[in-house]
Amino acid sequence: MNYHKYSSKSGFSFSYVMLALVIVFLFIPLFVVVFFSFNSARGMQWDHASLIWYKRLIFESPSLWSAFRNSLIIALTSSVTATVLGSLAAIGIKWYRFHGRSYITTVSYLPMVLPEVIIGISMLIFFSAVKVRLGMFTIFAAHTTFNLPFVFMMVSARLDEFDYSTVEAARDLGANERQTLTKVIIPTIIPAVLSGFLMCITMSLEDFVITFFVSGPGSGTLPLYVYSMIRYGVSPVINALSFVMILGTMVIAFIFRKFLKTVAASS
Amino acid sequence: MKKTLKPREREQLLGTMYGGPMGLWFTLFFTVPLGIIILYSFMKRGLYGGVEWEFTLDAYRQMFNPSFAMVVVRTLWISVLSTFLCILIAIPCGYAMAKSKHQTFLLFLIIIPFWTNSLIRIYAWISILSTEGFINSLLMRIGLIDSGLKLIYNNGAVVLVLIYMYLPFAILPLFTTIDKFDFSLLDAARDLGATKLGAIVKVMFPNIRSGLSTAFIFTFIPIFGAYTVPLLVGGKDSTMIGNIIVDQVSKTRNWPLASAFSMILTLISLVGVFWMLYNGKREQMQKGSKKTTQQALEHNIKAHHSLRGTK
Amino acid sequence: MKRFVKVFWVFLVCILVLSSTACKRKSSENGKLYLYNWTYYTPDNLVAKFEEETGIDVIIDNFASNEEMFAKVMAGGNKGYDILFPSSDYTQIMIKLGLLAELDHEKLPNLSHIAPLIREKATYDPHFSYAVPYFMGSSGIAVNTERVEGAYERSWAIFSDPRFAGRMSLLDDMREVMGAALKHLGFEGNTTDEEELTMAAELINKSWKPNIVKFDSESFGKAFSRGEFVVVHAYPENVFAELPSENWPSIDFFIPAEGGMMYIDNMVIPVGADNIENAHTFINFIHNPENYALFLDAFGFPPTTNTGAAQYMKNTDFFFSVEDLAHSDNIQDLGPDLEIYNQLWQTVRYEH
């Protein structure tokens, strides 16, 4: 039968060519950066292969490492906070009707779509109005805010597929609220929670625009450091750093390969 | 203690316990800051930043001037064009991914560049597009051109890099919805005499509307508020609204004007979000009963036939 | 499912271990010192020497423009940093707003090495009661002589030269560019005369802008080193830092004869700083001529600011000399009159 063209999974077609081209397109810049990270010369002219920029990166860039440390601390703390708050809220909103429910649902979409510039500026103005000292805390607060919606959405999507009668059954069997939460609900939503956490970590490590506005004394993160390198400074170290970061991303994505579909579904 | 609570009260209590912390967080760090922005946009500017507590519409009056109007128009056409191209490219990609056996691997390939630091990717594009960069040296080596083409520091470069940055935002939601689409419907349409493309447009598109609207919102709004891309790869006439907002805060020290522009961007985003939510709900309702889908399909096919009949 | 959870924990532990190893900072015996300086303006070797000599742990953040620094300081309730490095106009503003702590000159004996010319130019604080000069310098024009054919005018008029159209950039800085145009037309660089300013904006819009590719304060040095731009309105150190020193002879950097906009970057202590004692130690350390020579050598700066430093310098080939600044104007705060500049600058930057 010639009919089952669409449900069959084979064939060479326009869409496959397009996809292949797009993947090449997406990877070209990464290859270029990696290629030049092994160039011994400073500029765009290829000289000969060398690891000099990696040496510089590892041994001669103390401020880079302290920026990296800040980035990790903020990524971890904000992701954990966002994951806990977001998951709990998803459970609450899915199963209970209470005052403020629709407010929370609506407002939780917004930080995800609003341009980063707006979130950054509104937070800068807010912190300056209430006289909070800019620094690690303000970055943490900002990152948690833009991370929360992703956890909330992923966990909500997972809960949509979950049958509430299981919870009722657990209650009928005498489980209290805490037991229901830890024995029934959490095991079910854990894949979504983990993907949410993962998404938070990567977004937090990546964010530049919002961090740019709310950073303060001694709280510069890695993207801020990269930005100052793009402007001036020893350029090729940035290529070496990029390769290390790309490798890191690949490792994270590989560890969590089972969750990639959940990640895709929510972004 | 708990047993004395009525079910309604119990629900209220539990719901607040679970949802309250996040609600509080958003109120403090999102709603209140936005509120302050609204407030500031109606204040008199402070000479050295900040505001003076005096009501005025100055900021909104300042917005209506030909310089800013040009930037708004430019921002609009750049974002509409980039979004349109993103979605146009993303549809076949999402389709191919949904039909592939290697979905995880393909997702991996799409997500890697997407998760790589955005500044590093912009930086890479600068080295690719510059006059003596990757593309120009390649073309010169082949002998196609004698001197470097001017590929960077213009609006074309801005559009290209914006598409690059936001393409995954369009591909991922489209992939997710197309993946859930029942491909046998397309076979049915073909059986009824639709062409291949016709079947896709008439049968598949209405069923992936939520994916399309999500893709649209997630590319259009961030592009509309773009800041780093026009700053780093744009030329003398590539300023976008995002740049104006940042300039007003960090250069001109006109916080009310920055707030007023932020208000406009926020309003546009809000409209977009509600439209997206509305589309999502509508699709869910349609999916609610098989019959409706069936009817929609029949309706579409009929319409298609009648269209062909009149030709 | 168990496996995912296990993988997750391994991942978490990895991150924790990584972050704690990255945490291994040297302990600070004598407290800390938070600096907020321009990007690429605090040489690493100088900071290392200071840390070694004093046992004070230095933490540096960078900014790209006075405005950025000022916005942060205002927003942060003026707390957190011990020394800021504003240019003269912002020093003036911060003094006026009472944001700066008065300096204790008994702790700063090395101020005696500061050049007399600066006392003349630093009209906002001639006795250094609040601000000690860090460096007096100027923007100018850098030309890549290898890629430019024929003679060119060593003045601001070079931006009107159609031969270089599409290969030039101006700074994305209102005061610098407007000031350059004003000086070229023979006006004062801090004028608030509307007619003069309109003429300046017109010069930029009609004659300069058609020839330039970009208003760029971010990466003009990199673009210049790649050959993308052959004539740039620039701060010399950013241009020279991007090129290996064997290429330096091919760069012609000059401050136009008609004068340009110069600056004095200062070291100031904000009111309420936590480490005022350490801040004084640092300021005094910088103006020790031997240390100051290290700073100058790191960037190839001429000894405009600290006269004692010259004898300790290795470098004798400077980007410019003090005499070049003779006709330049120091950027001053203009208060509410700055709005006239803003309006005109909008037409330059946003219209086409």
pLDDT single digits (tens) B263-276: 988 888 888 878 87
Summarize the confidence of residues A248-261 as an average pLDDT. Answer: 79
Please compute, for residue B224, the number of CA atoms within 13 A of its CA located in the half-sphere on the CB side.
Answer: 24
Cβ contacts (< 8 Å) between B153 and chain C: which residues?
213-214, 228
The pLDDT value given to residue B36: 94
- The percentage of residues in chain C with a pLDDT greater than 70, rounded to a whole number, is 91
Q: In 3-state terms, what secondary structure has residue C123?
A: coil
The pLDDT value given to residue A210: 94
Q: In 3-state terms, what secondary structure has residue C135?
A: strand
Q: What is the pLDDT of residues C161-217, one digit of tens each?
A: 999 999 999 999 999 999 999 999 999 999 999 999 999 999 999 999 999 999 998
Give the 3-state secondary structure percentages of chain C, helix then strand then coil, rounded to 5.
Answer: 50, 15, 35
Say if residues B218 and B107 touch (Cβ distance below 8 Å).
Answer: no
Report which residue type is found at B282. Answer: R
The encoded tokens of residue C170 equal: 């101006």
The pLDDT value given to residue C203: 96
- For B256, counting Cβ atoms within 10 Å of its Cβ (0-12 exposed, 13-18 middle, 19+ buried), the class is buried
Q: Is residue A222 predicted with pLDDT exceeding 50? A: yes
The pLDDT value given to residue C101: 93
Q: Is residue C19 predicted with pLDDT exceeding 80? A: no
ipTM (interface pTM)? 0.87
Alpha carbons C52 and C16: distance in angstroms, whole number: 30
The pLDDT value given to residue B294: 45
Ramachandran region, residue C335 (left: φ > 0; alpha: ψ -120 to 50; beta: rest)? left
Alpha carbons A181 and A100: distance in angstroms, whole number: 22
Summarize the confidence of residues A152-163 as an average pLDDT. Answer: 84
Summarize the confidence of residues B94-108 as an average pLDDT. Answer: 90
- For C107, counting Cβ atoms within 10 Å of its Cβ (0-12 exposed, 13-18 middle, 19+ buried), the class is middle
Task: Indicate whether B296 belongs to any domain.
Answer: yes
Alpha carbons C128 and C275: distance in angstroms, whole number: 20
**CA distance to B90, B143, C84, C304, per residue, from B172 (Å):** 8, 39, 45, 57
A115/B225 touch (CB, cutoff 8 Å), yes or no: yes
Task: Indicate whether B288 belongs to any domain.
Answer: yes
B130/C223 touch (CB, cutoff 8 Å), yes or no: yes
Summarize the confidence of residues C95-117 as an average pLDDT. Answer: 92
The pLDDT value given to residue B2: 46
The pLDDT value given to residue C91: 94
- CATH numbers and ranges of domains, chain C: 28-137+263-320 (3.40.190.10), 140-259+329-350 (3.40.190.10)
Residue in A14, A26, A251 to test binding to B, most B beta-carbons within 10 Å: A26
Cβ contacts (< 8 Å) between B266 and chain A: which residues?
114, 118
The pLDDT value given to residue C21: 53
Got the DSSP string for C37-93? EETT-S-HHHHHHHHHHH-PEEEEEEESSHHHHHHHHHHTTT-S-SEE--BHHHHHH
A134/C76 touch (CB, cutoff 8 Å), yes or no: yes
Summarize the confidence of residues A40-59 as an average pLDDT. Answer: 81
Summarize the confidence of residues A238-253 as an average pLDDT. Answer: 85
The pLDDT value given to residue C180: 96
Task: Indicate whether B11 belongs to any domain.
Answer: no
Task: Indicate whether B28 belongs to any domain.
Answer: no
Cβ contacts (< 8 Å) between A233 and chain C: which residues?
39-40, 241
Instruction: Give partners of B (≥3 CB pairs < 8 A).
Output: A, C
Cβ contacts (< 8 Å) between B47 and chain C: which residues?
335-336
A216/C62 touch (CB, cutoff 8 Å), yes or no: no
Split at pLDDT 50, 70, 90, the class of A2 is: very low
Residue in A53, A125, A147 to test binding to B, most B beta-carbons within 10 Å: A125
Alpha carbons C351 and B65: distance in angstroms, whole number: 10
Q: Choose the weakest-confidence range: C5-9, C123-127, C223-227.
A: C5-9
Residues 6+ positions from B106 with CB-CB distance below 8 Å: A19, A23, B97, B100
Cβ contacts (< 8 Å) between B101 and chain A: which residues?
9
Q: Choose the weakest-confidence range: A169-173, C113-117, C168-172.
A: A169-173
Q: Which of C60, C75, C226 sits opposite A134 (nearest CB)?
A: C75
Q: Choose the weakest-confidence range: A57-61, B98-102, B231-235, C228-232.
A: A57-61
Q: Is residue A84 predicted with pLDDT exceeding 50? A: yes
Q: Is residue A240 predicted with pLDDT exceeding 70? A: yes
- CATH numbers and ranges of domains, chain A: 61-266 (1.10.3720.10)
Range picked from A159-168, A247-256, B59-68 for highest mean pLDDT: B59-68
Residue in B41, B48, B91, B123 to test binding to A, most A beta-carbons within 10 Å: B123
B136: containing domain: 66-310
- Chain-wide mean pLDDT for chain B? 84
CATH code (residue B99): 1.10.3720.10
Instruction: Give partners of C (≥3 CB pairs < 8 A).
Output: A, B
Residues 6+ positions from A231 with CB-CB distance below 8 Å: C39, C64, C218, C219, C222
Cβ contacts (< 8 Å) between A259 and chain C: which residues?
4
For residue B91, give the nearest of B186, B206, B212, B189 by alpha carbon: B212
For residue C69, the chain B residue with the least C-alpha distance is B250
The pLDDT value given to residue C160: 95
Write down the number of H helices and E strands in chain A. Answer: 13, 0
Q: Is residue B296 predicted with pLDDT exceeding 50? A: no
Q: Which of B68, B70, B235 sits opposite C213 (nearest CB)?
A: B235
Split at pLDDT 50, 70, 90, the class of C119 is: confident
Say if residues C262 and C138 touch (Cβ distance below 8 Å).
Answer: yes
The encoded tokens of residue B41 equal: 């946009």
Q: What is the pLDDT of residues A183-217, one digit of tens each?
A: 888 888 888 898 889 889 888 998 999 999 998 87
Task: Indicate whether B179 belongs to any domain.
Answer: yes
A43/C25 touch (CB, cutoff 8 Å), yes or no: no
- Distance from the C310 Cα atom to the nearest Cα atom in chain B, whole angstroms: 36
Q: What is the pLDDT of residues A23-37, one digit of tens each?
A: 999 999 999 888 888
For residue C215, the chain B residue with the least C-alpha distance is B236
**CA distance to A199, A256, A258, per residue, from A195 (Å):** 6, 8, 9
Split at pLDDT 50, 70, 90, the class of A109 is: confident
Element (H, E) at C132: strand C131-138
Residues 6+ positions from C37 with CB-CB distance below 8 Å: C60, C61, C62, C63, C83, C85
Task: Indicate whether B7 belongs to any domain.
Answer: no
Say if residues A247 and A64 touch (Cβ distance below 8 Å).
Answer: no
Summarize the confidence of residues B189-205 as an average pLDDT. Answer: 85
Alpha carbons B269 and B221: distance in angstroms, whole number: 6
Q: Does C48 touch chain A (CB under 8 A)?
A: no
Summarize the confidence of residues B23-30 as an average pLDDT. Answer: 94
Alpha carbons C304 and C325: distance in angstroms, whole number: 10
Task: Indicate whether B283 belongs to any domain.
Answer: yes
Summarize the confidence of residues C230-240 as an average pLDDT. Answer: 91
Instruction: Report how many domains make up chain B.
Output: 1
Beta strands in chain B (DSSP E): 43-45, 51-55
Q: Is residue B180 predicted with pLDDT exceeding 70? A: yes
The pLDDT value given to residue C5: 61
C226/B130 touch (CB, cutoff 8 Å), yes or no: yes
**More confident position, C244 or B219:** B219
Summarize the confidence of residues C34-49 as an average pLDDT. Answer: 89
B130/C336 touch (CB, cutoff 8 Å), yes or no: no
For residue B123, the chain C residue with the least C-alpha distance is C219
Q: Is residue B311 predicted with pLDDT exceeding 50? A: no
The strand pairing partners of C88, in sequence order, are: none
Cβ contacts (< 8 Å) between C4 and chain A: which residues?
190-191, 194, 258-259
Alpha carbons B15 and A47: distance in angstroms, whole number: 64
Q: Does B228 touch chain C (CB under 8 A)?
A: no
Alpha carbons B39 and C137: distance in angstroms, whole number: 41
Split at pLDDT 50, 70, 90, the class of C10 is: low
Residues 6+ positions from B5 with CB-CB distance below 8 Å: B13
Q: Does B236 touch chain C (CB under 8 A)?
A: yes
Q: Is residue C311 predicted with pLDDT exceeding 70? A: yes
Residue in A128, A232, A241, A262 to test binding to C, most C beta-carbons within 10 Å: A232
Residue in B62, B63, B67 to test binding to C, most C beta-carbons within 10 Å: B67
Q: Which of C22, C62, C76 sits opposite A65 (nearest CB)?
A: C22
- Chain-wide mean pLDDT for chain A? 84
For residue A35, give the nearest of B285, B133, B67 by alpha carbon: B133
Instruction: Give partners of A (≥3 CB pairs < 8 A).
Output: B, C
Q: Does B130 touch chain C (CB under 8 A)?
A: yes
Q: Is residue B307 predicted with pLDDT exceeding 70? A: no
- For B29, counting Cβ atoms within 10 Å of its Cβ (0-12 exposed, 13-18 middle, 19+ buried), the class is buried
Q: What is the pLDDT of residues C314-333, one digit of tens each?
A: 877 788 888 888 889 999 99
For residue C173, the chain B residue with the least C-alpha distance is B251
The encoded tokens of residue A247 equal: 């490798």
Element (H, E) at C194: helix C194-203
The pLDDT value given to residue C6: 65
**More confident position, C59 or C25:** C59
The encoded tokens of residue B302 equal: 């009929």
Report which residue type is found at A40. Answer: S
Please give the DSSP secondary-structure letter assigned to residue C25. Answer: P
Summarize the confidence of residues B5-15 as an average pLDDT. Answer: 81
C349/B252 touch (CB, cutoff 8 Å), yes or no: no
The pLDDT value given to residue C18: 59
Summarize the confidence of residues B156-163 as an average pLDDT. Answer: 97
Alpha carbons A151 and A155: distance in angstroms, whole number: 6
The encoded tokens of residue A73 equal: 């601390």
Please give the DSSP secondary-structure letter assigned to residue C234. Answer: E
Whole-prediction pTM value?
0.88
Radius of gyration of chain A, Cα coordinates, nearest whole angstrom: 23
Q: Is residue C241 predicted with pLDDT exceeding 90? A: no
B153/C65 touch (CB, cutoff 8 Å), yes or no: no
Beta strands in C193-240 (DSSP E): 212-215, 231-234
Alpha carbons B9 and B5: distance in angstroms, whole number: 6
Summarize the confidence of residues B9-24 as an average pLDDT. Answer: 88
The pLDDT value given to residue B287: 59
Those residues of chain C whose CB sits closer than 8 Å to some CB in chain B are 65, 67-68, 70-71, 74, 93, 97, 166, 174, 209, 212-215, 218-219, 222-223, 226-228, 335-336, 342, 346-347, 349-352
Q: Choose the weakest-confidence range: A50-59, B15-24, C13-22, C65-74.
A: C13-22
For residue A213, which phi and psi values (nearest 5 degrees)?
Answer: -80, -35
Element (H, E) at C112: none
The pLDDT value given to residue B297: 46
Summarize the confidence of residues A96-124 as an average pLDDT. Answer: 87
The pLDDT value given to residue C78: 54
Buried b (16+ CB within 10 A) or exposed e, B43-75: bebebbbbbeeeeeebbeebbeeebbebbeebb
For residue C7, the chain A residue with the least C-alpha distance is A255
Q: In 3-state terms, what secondary structure has residue C144?
A: strand
C68/B50 touch (CB, cutoff 8 Å), yes or no: no
B118/A206 touch (CB, cutoff 8 Å), yes or no: yes
The pLDDT value given to residue A8: 47
Q: Which of A101, A109, A117 sits opposite B225 (nearest CB)?
A: A117
The pLDDT value given to residue B292: 45
The pLDDT value given to residue B309: 36
Report which residue type is found at A250. Answer: M
Q: Does B49 touch chain C (CB under 8 A)?
A: yes
Summarize the confidence of residues B6-11 as an average pLDDT. Answer: 80
Q: Is residue B262 predicted with pLDDT exceeding 60? A: yes
Task: Indicate whether B19 belongs to any domain.
Answer: no
C228/B234 touch (CB, cutoff 8 Å), yes or no: no
Query: Among residues 241-260 of chain A, which lie with CB inside 8 Å of chain C?
Result: 252, 255-256, 258-259
Say if residues C58 and C50 touch (Cβ distance below 8 Å).
Answer: yes
For residue A225, which phi and psi values (nearest 5 degrees)?
Answer: -65, -45
Q: Give the other-Cβ count within 10 Å of A163's Cβ.
A: 9
For residue B241, the chain A residue with the least C-alpha distance is A117
Cβ contacts (< 8 Å) between A116 and chain B: which residues?
222, 225, 227
